[in-house]
Amino acid sequence: MKNKILFILSTLLFTGCDFSAQASYPQQQVCKSLSEGYLRMQNQTTYELWRMEKRDAPEQTRIIKMTYKKPNENGVMLPSQYLPTMELECRLQQQHIVVSVIQATGALVPVLNVQLQNDAIGKPKSPDLIAQSKIQ
């Protein structure tokens, strides 16, 4: 019995399971969809998601920074500083989502605000789910 428990624990340890990442997956998908929708509205459809990283934030707030790069003429995205790059930040605080463009100076310019009527991220769809958006 001890060997089985030890085997299960060591398997979890060596596989690198990150259960906290599973909880933030719905927010990542919402932020990715909103940012790609913003890029489509700006006719910047050639940009592709290159990196998505979680940022430190105060309690009850989750922040994801997304870096979009325009691939070179061969369709390859290189970690080059010379490729056109756009950085977006998605901030989720309770039922309020703000997508902002990160300028070269580090200043945030809010471009999309979404106010959800209930805690809908990560829950099954329901007929009473209503989302309102405001584009600035």
Residue 12 maps to a domain: no
CB atoms within 10 A of CB 133: 12
Q: Judge whether 122 lies within some domain.
A: yes
Q: Residue 65: is its pLDDT beyond 90?
A: yes
User: For 1-60, how does the pLDDT look when each residue is reduced to its tens digit (9 = 90+)?
Assistant: 655 555 555 555 555 544 445 556 777 888 899 999 999 999 988 888 988 998 887 777
Residue 43 belongs to some domain of the structure: yes
pLDDT at 123: 59
What CA–CA distance (Å, rounded) separates 96 from 31? 12
How much is the pTM? 0.65
Say if 7 falls within a structural domain. Answer: no
In a domain, 8, yes or no: no
Rounded-to-integer distance, Cα 63 and Cα 65, Å = 7
4-8, 19-23, 118-122, 130-134: segment of lowest average pLDDT: 19-23
Rounded CA separation 42/67 (Å): 16
Task: Please check whether residue 117 lies inside any domain of the structure.
Answer: yes
Cβ neighbours around 5 below 10 Å, total: 9
Question: What is the spatial distance between Cα 67 and Cα 19, in angstroms, rounded to a whole number?
Answer: 24
The total number of structural domains in the chain stands at 1
